[in-house]
Amino acid sequence: MSSSVLRKTMIVLTAVGLCLAAYLTYVHYSGVTPPCSIKGNPCSEVQKSQYSLLVGVPVALIGLLGYIAILGSLLLARDGERARFVTMALILGGFGFSLYLTYRELFTLHKICEWCVSSAVIMTMLACLSMWRFLRGDDLLPVDTTPNDATQISDEAPETAAPLGAAHS
């Protein structure tokens, strides 16, 4: 996958996550019940649980701000090692937070919210792509093909090596 395609894929995934988090933030502040295809609407129960707030701030709003920061790092920063690292760090922070919330859904609340799982899947995909993008590093950038002193081929005959133990003249 080329650098451009990888970055554009991450931008699209982040934009989808941003829309999802914006919707969940709207649900929180408006008090509407989110639609859910699972019987009993566990989405509503998760959205109204004590774990839907972190120090009084809705986790949906935290997610929205996180996606905005990630999108900003993808759109505004020049592609370089530092920019790739910042993007990866933001995404891994969001991924860790998403893991924590998913743990709470599964093992504390015993409920699954489809909206939350969708965001977790997006964040997991972004985490994989951002690590791949960072670890590939400058391989994604255009290579300078102009020869320099270290890579120029010399017309001089190479020195021949004497057999091991032989004296040099």
| pLDDT digit string, tens, across residues 72-104 | 999 998 888 999 999 999 999 999 999 999 999
Token digits of residue 150: 């270290």
Given a contact cutoff of 8 angstroms between Cβ atoms, the answer to whether 6 and 132 are in contact is yes
- pLDDT over 90 (residue 164): no
Q: What is the mean pLDDT of residues 16-32?
A: 96
pLDDT of residue 116: 95
Please state which CATH number belongs to domain 3-137. Answer: 1.20.1440.130
pTM for this model (two decimals): 0.80
Please state, rounded to an integer, the average pLDDT across all residues of the chain.
88
Output DSSP code: residue 54.
Answer: E
Q: What is the mean pLDDT of residues 120-138?
A: 94
Which residues are CB-contacts of 106 (< 8 A; sequence separation ≥ 6)? 112
**Helices and strands counted in the chain (H then E):** 5, 2
How far apart are the C-alpha atoms of 25 and 39, rounded to whole Å? 23
